[in-house]
């Protein structure tokens, strides 16, 4: 039977994607069965030409990435030829492994990381939240870029991960990715979870984190006084989206709800209590613990203000909320000196 073989480069939209570059993925398909992997490069979707699977334009970065894609393409073709000459079974997986230079039963770091994230995604709403998954996906993206940057390969055998790898990755996060200390420590911690899984599965015998130590820097929280909150509440904005950001912040101040709890808050979760006042009765997004919160006058005023907003009417939500990324982008103009 003749094998059908095809290779495709494409942009893969990340979870919760809003704007910016997308990672370039490669899909190897043999007899209709696909295997995909990131090649560790990013591309502006406006410059990507899906007809030719390359970047448009003659800029230097386009030439560099297109040259890299051609090299990858040639290596996959060579891997296919090598398997054919060796009379070995040609599948999408065997071709992918041959391209990566790993044995059939070898375990690679990025494959293990992706498997971890896939399982986490399947348990969203049970054991994990979308926010947690997003953080691990970001760590995976940084790990992918680091391996390509430092070792010039697309993936790495787990037994190759040592203290040098961890130390260099930590430096890469702080220098190339410009992560602050706490962000870098959290990414290292996320990677550490995947490494512990590999150790538990006996895919590696040496714990690369034995000699590595990092510490979260305590961040001093700025406490707003009642006068500060009132000043923000009284500030006038001509743009509706800024008014919504202000009102969302004030609503959180007077209810104690987190941003994600407010995003998910529905009108059906605002009920009349035994005192004939309106109460929020819902489960916390992160912990699942029930909470009963009275609507104080200012929170009640905000609740009533958006009762007839088209988005709230259509969705049943209390406030017409944007994504967290959008809210953070709009937050600066709302500040009151």
Give 232-249 pLDDT, tens digit per residue: 889 988 898 899 999 999
φ/ψ of 34, rounded to 5, equals -100, 155
pLDDT, tens only, 31-67: 999 999 999 899 999 999 999 989 998 889 899 999 9
Residue 160 has pLDDT above 80, yes or no: yes
Residue 212 has pLDDT above 50, yes or no: yes
pLDDT value of residue 14 = 85
pLDDT value of residue 322 = 61
**What average pLDDT does the segment 114-121 reach?**
96
Are the folds of 109-200 and 226-334 the same? no
Residue 305 has pLDDT above 60, yes or no: yes
Residue 324 has pLDDT above 60, yes or no: no
Residue of 279, 224, 222, 289 lying closest to 255 (CA atoms): 279
Q: By the 8 A CB rule, do 155 and 113 touch?
A: no
Confidence of residue 337 (pLDDT cuts 50, 70, 90): very low
pLDDT, tens only, 252-278: 999 999 888 999 999 999 999 899 999
Domain range annotation of the chain: 5-100, 109-200, 226-334
Question: CA–CA separation, 197 vs 214, rounded Å?
Answer: 20
Residue of 262, 261, 331, 258 lying closest to 302 (CA atoms): 262
Confidence of residue 323 (pLDDT cuts 50, 70, 90): low
| Options 1.10.150, 1.10.1760, 2.60.40, 1.10.10; CATH of 109-200 | 1.10.150
pLDDT value of residue 147 = 96
Starting from the edge strand earliest in sequence, which strands make up the sheet with 270-272, in order? 270-272, 278-283, 290-294
Gyration radius of the chain over CA positions: 25
Residue 189 has pLDDT above 80, yes or no: yes
Confidence of residue 17 (pLDDT cuts 50, 70, 90): confident
Average predicted confidence (pLDDT) for the chain: 89
Provide the CATH topology of domain 226-334. Answer: hpI Integrase; Chain A (1.10.443)
Q: Which helix (H) or strand (E) holds 105?
A: none
Give percent of the chain with pLDDT exceeding 70. 94
């Amino acid at each position: 039977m003749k094998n059908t073989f095809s290779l495709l480069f494409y942009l893969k939209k990340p979870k919760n994607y809003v704007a910016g570059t997308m990672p370039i993925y490669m899909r190897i398909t043999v007899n209709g069965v696909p295997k995909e992997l990131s090649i560790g490069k990013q591309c502006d979707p406006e410059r990507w030409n899906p007809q030719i699977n390359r970047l448009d334009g003659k800029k230097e970065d386009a030439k560099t990435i297109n040259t890299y894609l051609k090299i990858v393409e040639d290596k996959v073709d060579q891997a296919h030829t090598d398997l054919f000459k060796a009379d070995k079974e040609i599948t999408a997986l065997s071709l992918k492994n041959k391209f990566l230079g790993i044995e059939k039963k070898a375990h690679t770091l990025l494959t293990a990381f992706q498997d971890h994230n896939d399982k986490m995604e399947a348990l969203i709403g049970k054991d994990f939240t979308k926010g947690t998954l997003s953080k691990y996906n970001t760590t995976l993206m940084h790990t992918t870029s680091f391996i390509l940057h430092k070792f010039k390969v697309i993936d790495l055998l787990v037994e190759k991960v040592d203290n040098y790898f961890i130390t260099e990755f930590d430096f890469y996060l702080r220098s190339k990715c410009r992560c602050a200390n706490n962000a870098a420590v959290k990414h290292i911690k996320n990677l550490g979870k995947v490494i512990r899984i590999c150790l538990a599965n006996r895919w590696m015998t040496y714990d690369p984190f034995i000699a590595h130590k990092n510490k979260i820097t305590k961040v001093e929280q700025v406490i707003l006084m009642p006068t500060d909150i009132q000043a923000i509440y009284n500030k006038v904005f001509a743009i509706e989206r800024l008014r919504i950001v202000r009102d969302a912040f004030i609503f959180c101040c007077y209810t104690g709800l987190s941003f994600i709890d407010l995003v998910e808050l529905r009108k059906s979760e605002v009920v009349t209590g035994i005192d004939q006042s309106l109460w929020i009765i819902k489960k916390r997004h992160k912990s699942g613990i029930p909470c009963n919160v009275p609507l104080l006058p200012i929170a009640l005023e905000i609740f009533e203000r958006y009762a007839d907003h088209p988005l709230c009417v259509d969705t049943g939500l209390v406030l017409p909320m944007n994504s967290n990324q959008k809210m953070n982008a709009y937050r600066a103009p709302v500040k009151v000196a």
